[in-house]
Amino acid sequence: MEEYLNYHKISRNDWQSLYENSIPPLTEEELNEIKSLNDSISLKDVQEVYVPLVHLIRIYHKAQESLTMSKGLFLRKLLPTPPFILGISGSVAVGKSTTARLLQILLSRTFKRLHVELITTDGFLYPTDYLLERDMLQRKGFPESYDMERLIRFLSEVKSGKEEVSSPVYSHEIYDIVKGEENITNRPDILIVEGINVLQLPQNQRIYVSDFFDFSIYVDASEENIKKWYKERFEALLDSAFQDSTNYYYAFAQLPRKQALEEADKVWNKINKVNLEQYILPTRQRADVILHKNDGHELDTIYLRKY
């Protein structure tokens, strides 16, 4: 297909043979703790897809270290190796969060002496009050709803080796930034940055978020499947929110289920579908690796950028 023109297309069977490791470095219980509500990832997926992926990331990490050393030789001074930053993008409900949390564990256990941290770009969304004041709430998740200057400043400070870099905390339960709370990133050796916007073009900024990345992944699936998973996740959230009045999904949980799912359809068609087609999917070609999922949430094809 033309949209994958600059990629090696690798079947799952071929991919798993590229790096063999018979024992996944985590347990079923650990996997269940990190996977999203309706994600059906298995230890077999970890072994056959993610373990080879971590091996590939390791190759990129070694190349970064080698380049830093060569630059130091050229400049005739010792240069510290900057944090290796890995970006993970894709649509809502496609499984980005599970991928990010899983890679954090696998990379921590692969690079035992290195400090691996994870952050999501949700924390860089403008607060709900800010969006309401500007009549932007229906554009939440679109490029203009993020404080991109703060995100870029955050990545610049991390990349430069600043000891403590703060960022806002986002709660999916209240669907907003948590006032008074901050996440502190403390000089990671590897930083995973997960979010729908990490591969997008700048709006008014002069640089890309992805300019800071040493490796990037796009989690892919058909729009039909993503919509199905979004509705499944929406319904699962209703089941868990109906007794918690502070939860964003509480109001939806009080509606008849059919009506609530109709609201989910509206949100998908007016917001998520538009965002996917106009702003998220066009960034897929910027990823180093594309992980494609079939309708069973199973990774079936891997695309590796040629150049």
Q: What is the structure's pLDDT at 242?
A: 80
Q: Annotated binding residue at 112?
A: no
Q: Residue 170 is encoded by which pair of tokens?
A: 């986002």
Residue with tokens 């892919």: 220
Q: What is the structure's pLDDT at 204?
A: 59
DSSP label at 108?
H
Question: Is 70 exceeded by the pLDDT of residue 117?
Answer: yes
Q: Annotated binding residue at 94?
A: yes
Q: What is the structure's pLDDT at 241?
A: 84
**C-alpha distance from residue 182 to each of 119, 153, 177 (Å):** 12, 15, 10
Question: Is 60 exceeded by the pLDDT of residue 245?
Answer: yes
Which fold does the domain 2-121+194-305 belong to in CATH? Rossmann fold (3.40.50)
Q: Annotated binding residue at 92?
A: yes
Domain boundaries, the chain: 2-121+194-305
The CA R_g of the chain, rounded to the nearest whole Å, is 20
DSSP label at 81?
P
pLDDT tens per residue, range 192-243: 999 999 999 766 567 889 999 999 999 999 999 999 999 999 999 998 888 8
pLDDT tens per residue, range 15-25: 999 987 666 67
Partnered with residue 305 across adjacent β-strands are: 7
- Name the pLDDT band for 6 (thresholds 50, 70, 90): very high
What single letter denotes the amino acid at residue 103? L
Q: What is the structure's pLDDT at 298?
A: 92
Q: Residue 73 is encoded by which pair of tokens?
A: 């030789």
Q: Annotated binding residue at 97?
A: yes
Q: Annotated binding residue at 222?
A: no
Report the distance separating Cα 8 and Cα 15, nearest Å: 11
pTM summary value: 0.95
Q: What is the structure's pLDDT at 206?
A: 74
Query: Is residue 283 helix, strand or coil?
Result: helix
pLDDT tens per residue, range 127-142: 999 999 999 999 999 9
Q: Annotated binding residue at 95?
A: yes
Pairing outcome for strands 289-293 and 299-305: antiparallel
* C-alpha 163, offset from chain centre: 24
Q: Annotated binding residue at 93?
A: yes
Q: Annotated binding residue at 40?
A: no
**C-alpha distance from residue 70 to each of 65, 76, 164 (Å):** 9, 10, 28
Cβ proximity of 86 and 216 under 8 Å = yes
